[in-house]
Chains A and B, each alone.
Chain A
Amino acid sequence: MSAAKPKPGRFRRLWGAPIALALLSLAGLIAALVGDGLYDAASYLSLAVPLVVIGWYIARRTR
């Protein structure tokens, strides 16, 4: 099976959410390194987003 040229919309549909989550996680990992207080909160809140996403889609699973 040869790969069809992916249209831009298809790429975004496939990889948009994973890339957004990865960038958010990386920002979270760096935030707590460069500061304390608000930076720490920004860090664990952004790293918690993937967990919330997991919970959301498990709750919405097709039964």
Chain B
Amino acid sequence: MTSSRIRTWYLWHKWTSIVCTAFMLLLCLTGLPLVFHEEIDELTGAHPAVAEMPADTPLASLDLIVRNALAARPGEVMTFMSWDDHEPIVYATTAPRVDTQDAFFIMGFDARTGERVDFGNPEEGFMHVMAHLHIDLFAGLWGTLFLGFMGLLFVIAIVSGVVLYGPFMRKLDFGTVRANRSKRLKWLDLHNLLGITTLAWVFVVGFTGVINTLGTPIIKFWQYDQLAEIVKPYEGMPPVTDFASIDAAVKTARAAAPGMNVQFVAWPGTGFSSKHHYAVFIQGETPLTSRLLKPALVDAQNGTLTAMRDLPWYAQALLLSQPLHFGDYGGLGLKIVWGLLDIATIVVLGSGLYLWLGRRKTSLESRIEELERGGLVTQPVPGAAE
């Protein structure tokens, strides 16, 4: 590689890193507790628990749960219903208006009795602050898109870093850590070692994070694209006033997809459905198919199934990006590795920052020369790696 090309890559690496590093450090630090949010919620009692009952206890009607939820929130409307992964708990989400962006209120109900289950308010506390700092900086969609742009810069920083690894390591053995020279050289070697060994993981988590920031636009596009096509016959019809039974609607969806579970239901008019349908999202049984949701659209007025179709590729890509970013799909062992790799990334970011801060007095040329010669600027051309 020529010096001028190294220089170009070096400048890309430097500037993308300078802009995104502070935010990436924030994302790594807040992401660490979020990886373990299930475990933390269980320890702090923020995750609800229900009484043990025989496994064959019949389930309460979902219509009862809807009535109880609306009775608890007078004047509000139903927006979503979802099912707990581990406990027999149904969550009902209400809001003042069906098309609200953020005024949601979530409640838990015992799936067998329909009784309200108390749990901590998910909209407050340490984990809530961590989640917002990680997802949107308390700035809504624009905050999310901003973090997505920072993530994109981070991905460019990773790619340019890998390109620079080539000339830097040309004369060095893999894993060289020279702790006997300067503090700076030691951290430069560590930056390279940790960066190149964790490369694939950091790239995947960074890239899927960027895709996740596009979640809202992706779902919106699905509504205008595939969903609009399916519900074309409903165009111009008045809004639903007399809602069909949700219990029957979920049963209809289940019957249309044997062997699948219902993961959540979106009410008509919400961001995940049409104006005239319950969107019943069903999931498969394996770790992979449980992520690839499929919506069954049930007419919310008469309860019949209008359509059930796989989501388009861009929505599937979004759904697949979630586990690959969260690391929540392989048990506690995977979460621990995820946390350790996150810490390694913090070291790469921190050492990068240190190298930049500690090197501002030297010229750009000498730093590029350092890259070309594996950090051995003082010697003409090192004969062999140490």
Q: Interface residues, chain A, CB within 8 Å of chain B?
A: 1-3, 10, 13-18, 21-23, 25-26, 29, 31-36, 39-41, 43-44, 47-48, 50-51, 53-54, 56-58, 60-63
Q: Interface residues, chain B, CB within 8 Å of chain A?
A: 1-3, 162, 165-166, 169-170, 173-180, 186, 189-190, 193-194, 196-201, 204, 286-288, 291, 320, 323-324, 329-331, 333-334, 336-338, 340-341, 344, 372, 386
B178, B186, B291, B330 pick with most chain A CB within 10 angstroms: B330
Give min CB distance, A57 to chain B, whole Å: 3
Tell me the complex Cα distance, A35–B336, Å: 19
Tell me the complex Cα distance, A63–B288, Å: 47
Interfacial chain B residues near A62, Cβ < 8 Å: 176-180, 386
**Interface contact B287-A54, CB-CB below 8 Å:** no
For chain B, what secondary structure do more than half of its interface residues adopt (helix, strand, loop), or is it mixed?
Answer: helix
Tell me the complex Cα distance, A60–B341, Å: 20
Interfacial chain A residues near B288, Cβ < 8 Å: 33-34
Give min CB distance, A20 to chain B, whole Å: 10
Tell me the complex Cα distance, A23–B179, Å: 29
Known: A1-B372, A29-B324, A62-B179. A51 touches B341 (CB 8 A): yes
Question: Which of A16, A22, A33, A44 is B336 in contact with, Cβ under 8 Å?
Answer: A44
Question: Which of A3, A14, A35 is B286 in contact with, Cβ under 8 Å?
Answer: A35
Question: Which of B1, B320, B330 is A3 in contact with, Cβ under 8 Å?
Answer: B1
**Interface contact A41-B344, CB-CB below 8 Å:** no
Known: A2-B2, A21-B200, A34-B288. A47 touches B175 (CB 8 A): no
